[in-house]
Structure 1
C-alpha cells in the first residue's frame, strides 16, 4: 500500500461562507510543525499544496522551505481562484465556479500561482489541487500545458449542487482525459473515499438520475454521510479511517490519499477545531492511524509527484 498525505496549505478566513480577495493572514502555517512526527517517526513525506497568499508570505516561506529541505516534503500548487490575481468583475458571487471563469482569466490565475511558487520558494510545481475541489472541465486541459502532471482535486462519491459530479469517480489513481496528444496526460489521484457496499453506489446513483435536482442532491449527500468512509482525519473517526483502509486493501486498492487543511492544525482557524484540545485530538488521531497503518502494513509513504512514476 502506498500512502499520500496531502495538505492544502492556505490562508485564514475560510469556512465562514466568505471568500475575500484579501484574506486576513496565514498564521496557521506555523501549526504544520505539529505534524513533524509524520516524517520524523514514520518516514512519510508530506505533499504541501500551497495557495498564492501563502507563497507570498515571508514567514510562511521559511516554514515551507524547512519542510521541503529538511523533511522531504513536496511543494505543489493549490489554486484559490477567488484570492489569486488577476481579478475581473463577473456577474456571479464568489467563489465563482471554475467553469464560469473566462478561460484567459483562469489561465492567468494559474500562471500567477505558479510564478509565486517559483519566485518565492524556488519550486516548479508538478502537483495540483483546485480550491473547493472545483476542478470542472477547463482546469484539466490547462494543467499539462503549465507543467502540472499530477492532480488530486477529485473526491469520489461526492456531487456538489451546481458543481462537479464525481460520485462515480474511481477510488484509485487514473489518467485524466483531455490530452491534446502533444502534452503528457495528467495522473489523477483522488481522495480515498470508500463505499461500504459498492453495489449500492451504482444503484443509488442510477436511481437518483430520475429525481428532481434538489432531491437528487439530497439523496446523494445523505448516501455519502451514511454509507461512505475515508481516511481523512478532519472528516472521519479513527475507526472509520481504519475501516476505509481495510476495505480498500481488501478490494485490491494500492493507494491511500489522505487529506487535511493546514488551518485545521491551528486552534481557532476553523469552526470545527476551535481550541487547543480540539487540535490535539486531531493530531493524536493522525498519529494513531499512521501507527496502526504501519503495524498492519506494509505501507510506503510517497508524495504526489513520486506516485506518478508508478502509474
Structure 2
C-alpha cells in the first residue's frame, strides 16, 4: 500500500495488584503475582517495537524487585514507568474503600496529595526513578488534581476515558485527541501548557463518533435498557462502542475501531490493559485459560494491521508528549 500516513502507537499498562473485580476491594495482603509476567510481556513488546508505559501503583511498586529482569529492561530505556494511584492500596488510608471513593477524582485533594507523595517516595527510594506520566485509579481527573500533578513534576496525564461515564464521574465531552486541558474544565481544551492529556482510544464502528455516542447514550437509558437496544445494535454490527483494550476487545473489533479512527485521520492509537489480566483469574474479567496468549495475540494482530496502512512510530507517554508538543497541529484545539 502506497501513501502510508504517519501514526503514533502507545501502549499503556495499569500495573497493579490482582483481585476479583466483581468482589470487594482488597485492603491488605495485596497479591502481585502478575508482576512475574512483566519480563516476558516486555520482551514481546520489544519484538514488535512497542515502547509501553507501565502505570505502577503502590502495591506493585512495593512488590517490584529493583534488580529484577523487568527493572533492568526499564533501565535500558525500552519502556517507561508512570505513576498510578489506587486509593485502597496506597497509604495513608483514610476510610474503608467504597465504589465512590475508589475513584481518585472523588477524593478530597488533601488525601490525593498525601497518597501521591507516598507513592512518589517509593519510586524515589526504591528505584531512584521520577515518573513524568500519571493515571488516576479508575479514571477521571479534576482541575485540582491536574494542578497537583504539575506541582509534583508530572508533564503528561492519561486519566481521561472518552465517551465514558458512570454515577461517580464522567469523561463525556472530552477530546479524543491529545489536548491541553483547560484549568477550569479539564475535559475541554485550554491555554495552559504544563500537562498534556493523552486519552486512551475509545470510539465506535460508525462515524461521526459524536452522533454514535449520542445514540448509544440514549439507548442506554433505563427504559431502553429493558429492551436491550444497544445489545441488538451490537450483535447486528449496526453500532458498536469499542475499547482499544485487548483484555476486553477482540482483534477484529479493535481493527474495526482503528479503521474508524483512520477515517478521521487521527494521528494516534492509544491501547491500554491491566497487568493483572496477564495471568489466569487475575481480575475475574477474562475467562480465558490462557489470557497472556490471548492478549498478546490480539495486540500482534492490531499492530500487523496498522503497519499495512501506516508508518507506525512506537512511543512511551512522555515521548509522545514531546512529539505532539513539537507538532501542535495534531493536538485538539
Which TM-score band (shorter chain)?
Answer: 0.7 to 0.9
Q: Distance in 1 between matches of 2:22 and 2:82?
A: 25
Secondary structure at the aligned position of 1:18 is classed as coil
In the alignment, structure 1 residue 147 sits paired with structure 2 residue 153: yes
CA deviation digits over 1:149-184, x for unaligned, max 9?
Answer: 111111111111x222213222111111218x9x85
Aligned partner of 2:284 among 265, 268, 271:
271
Q: Distance in 1 between matches of 2:214 and 2:26?
A: 35
In the alignment, structure 1 residue 20 sits paired with structure 2 residue 38: no
Aligned partner of 1:201 among 182, 202, 210:
210
In the TM superposition, what is the alpha-carbon distance from 1:305 to its structure 2 partner?
0.3
In the TM superposition, what is the alpha-carbon distance from 1:131 to its structure 2 partner?
1.0
Segment of structure 1 superposing worse, 134-143 or 146-155: 134-143
Aligned partner of 1:45 among 31, 41, 51:
51
Q: Distance in 2 between matches of 1:200 and 1:70?
A: 39
Change (3 A) 1:20 1:43: same
Aligned partner of 1:156 among 153, 162, 185:
162
In the alignment, structure 1 residue 189 sits paired with structure 2 residue 198: yes
CA deviation digits over 1:200-243, x for unaligned, max 9?
Answer: 7347649969x998569999x94997532232111211111111
Aligned partner of 1:34 among 11, 28, 40:
40
Runs of 4+ in 1 over 4 A off after TM superposition: 206-209, 211-219, 221-226
In the alignment, structure 1 residue 247 sits paired with structure 2 residue 260: yes
Segment of structure 1 superposing worse, 222-231 or 300-309: 222-231
Aligned partner of 1:173 among 169, 178, 196:
178
Change (3 A) 1:190 1:99: closer
Change (3 A) 1:248 1:58: closer
Q: Distance in 1 between matches of 2:222 and 2:146?
A: 27
Q: Distance in 2 between matches of 1:217 and 1:189?
A: 31
Alignment root-mean-square deviation, CA = 3.3
Secondary structure at the aligned position of 2:282 is classed as coil
Structure 1 unaligned blocks of 5 or more: none
Q: Normalising by the residue count of structure 1, what TM-score does the alignment of the two structures yield? A: 0.86
Change (3 A) 1:157 1:99: closer
**8 Å Cα contact 1:21-1:84 kept in structure 2:** no
Match of 1:117 in 2: 123
Matched residue count: 308
Match of 2:297 in 1: 284
Change (3 A) 1:253 1:77: same
**8 Å Cα contact 2:133-2:318 kept in structure 1:** yes
